[in-house]
Amino acid sequence: MSLALLASSFVFAQQQQTFTEVTVLSYSPTIFLKRSVNDGGFIRGIQTQNFNGDNGWFFGDLHGTQWAVSKGDYNDRKFVVNGNGNVGVGTSDPQTKFEVAKENSNNQNLVMARFLASGQSGGSNMISIGYHTNANLEVNSGYTASGFRYGSYGDFNIENEGPSNANSGAINFITSKKVQMAIMPSGNALLNGKLEVKEVKVTLTPTADFVFAEDYDLPKLEDIEKHIKEKKHLPEIASAKVMEKEGVNVGEFQIKLLQKIEELTLYSIEQNKQLKQLQNENETLKSQSEEIQELKKQVQILLNKKNKK
């Protein structure tokens, strides 16, 4: 009897069985797909098929090192999890904890992932990546209350709420281990390279209009000349060496340049007044010279008449 049961169990194990429905009822049900040998390459999984025998999807274990979801058979892997915990979408060999790969054909815009949301607005964000309470990355945030999210409905936010330090960058762009661009929590920005823009607006007060005040002490040209001979640069303007060492504050420098232009304008106005005064004096001298010449002629005529007598 025992031999008969053993034989029937062996035949059942070797033959392909077809069931319309399988139910495993247990407190913690587990199905084991156990190998019959212990060497060679292998796969273990569930393969779905259509009625005509065409493969649908494969879900299972490849060689004991990777769990995969494949289209057709196990070769066309769409989603994999490696034994080291790396997860890949569109790649069979993810090199990081989460890697998404997609071929970009015909130089088209490539969309790697899309996050959609619906329902009531407020207090939600499309993508949020955080590290404890110090760092945060958000895209298309709809949060308008206090917290990590700055502004209302911002499209792109990168934040660092670490130590209260003006040098703790809120946004950093780094290449070759060097910060190429940074925006600090204080609002200061750093750009290690050229900047090309269509328009720059600098808001800085006060401006240089104080030069036109009646009580403004306009420097004497003699003093400016002396300063230039000694210092080799204009008064109140940094020297070339200082600029090369410390840089130039564009807003303050523009105001200083405007101040010097306004001072030059006052000098020009004063010189124009002096020129007009000289012209008037020249006209007067010319008129007096003509009168003198006329008097000389009259005197000469009188002298000539006297000599004839």
Determine whether 158 is exposed, middle or buried from the number of CB atoms within 10 Å of its CB (0-12, 13-18, 19+).
middle
Give, as one character, the DSSP assignment of residue 212: G
Residue 177 per-residue DSSP state: T
Q: What pLDDT was estimated at residue 4? A: 46
Yes or no: say if 53 and 39 are a contact pair by the CB < 8 Å rule: no
pTM for the model stands at 0.47
* CA atoms lying within 13 Å on the CB side of residue 55: 13
- Determine the 3-state secondary structure of 301 from DSSP: helix
Digitized pLDDT (tens) for each residue of the chain, 309 residues in all: 454 444 445 445 556 778 889 899 999 999 898 888 888 889 999 999 999 999 999 999 999 999 999 999 999 999 999 999 999 998 999 999 999 887 777 766 666 776 666 655 555 555 666 655 555 666 554 444 444 444 334 455 566 555 555 555 567 776 666 777 778 777 788 888 888 889 888 887 778 889 999 999 999 999 999 999 999 999 999 999 999 999 888 888 889 999 999 999 999 999 999 999 888 888 888 888 888 888 888 888 888 877 776
